[in-house]
Amino acid sequence: MSSLPRHPKDLLTAMLPPISRIQLDKRLVLLDEQDRNELNHIEQVIFWSHARDASSEQVIAQDNAAIAGIKTKLLKDLVLWRLTTRTLMSALRMRHAGFVPNAQNRFIGFGKWPAQIEKNWGQPNFGINPIEISWLSKASDYIAQNQPLELEKLLLDLSWKYYANLGNDHVFDFEAVAIYVLRWDVINRWSHYNRDYFKETALANFNQLVDAGLNNCPTSF
């Protein structure tokens, strides 16, 4: 941990990760083999690299088995929180797309919410108390209003702060390293969204200036 530069306090004002992935991986070599395998295991579950060609049922079965294999309770809880968040977002997106669960097409996912979500499919926030999931209503609004950037900012900042809070009690142990790596992924993703967004905005502004300039030019130009 002492070889890793500190993450910024605020995600949404950051432009780049504090360290490249190449340099981060060089530091991670210092972990013993068991910890490296555990970290790779956690990253694979969270990033769903195994989910491309699998059904929902297969993904859930694989990930539940993978969660059970995580040795550290804090990291096991972290992974379950991340997959539960993804479950809630899947429900919002599926409902927005017109999906309605039934006996043949059940809604399945992680955590304690799938049964309540299915039972209260048509209710605001699926009947979940906003005290328990405070961000759900805002996420639903962003989906309905077709604001993908605002939705991504909300979700990335949610993960950023959750990981940061967990890391407050861990400084030089393996949990601290794992949380650092997961936060690195969040800021890396945000930096890509940031660059793409500003690139598109800059291009749009440039095109507007060009159009305005051409409209004001003499026709003999």
pLDDT for res 127: 95
Long-range contacts of 2-6 (CB under 8 A, 24+ apart): 2/172, 3/27, 3/30, 4/180
- For the chain, the structural domain boundaries read 1-30+148-213, 50-146
pLDDT for res 196: 57
Query: Got the DSSP string for 71-115?
Result: --HHHHHHHHHHHHHHHHHHHHHHHHTT----SSS----STT-HH
Q: Find where tokens 């393996």 sit.
A: 174
Reported pTM: 0.82
User: Which residues contact residue 44 at a Cβ distance below 8 angstroms, ignoring those fewer than 6 apart?
Assistant: 50, 66
pLDDT for res 213: 43
Compute the distance between CA of residue 197 and CA of residue 209 in angstroms, rounded to an integer: 18
pLDDT along the chain (221 residues), means of 10: 90 91 94 90 77 69 82 91 94 94 90 94 94 96 93 95 90 90 94 64 47 40 26
User: Which residues contact residue 118 at a Cβ distance below 8 angstroms, ignoring those fewer than 6 apart?
Assistant: 101, 106, 107
14: phi then psi, degrees, rounded to nearest 5 = -85, 145
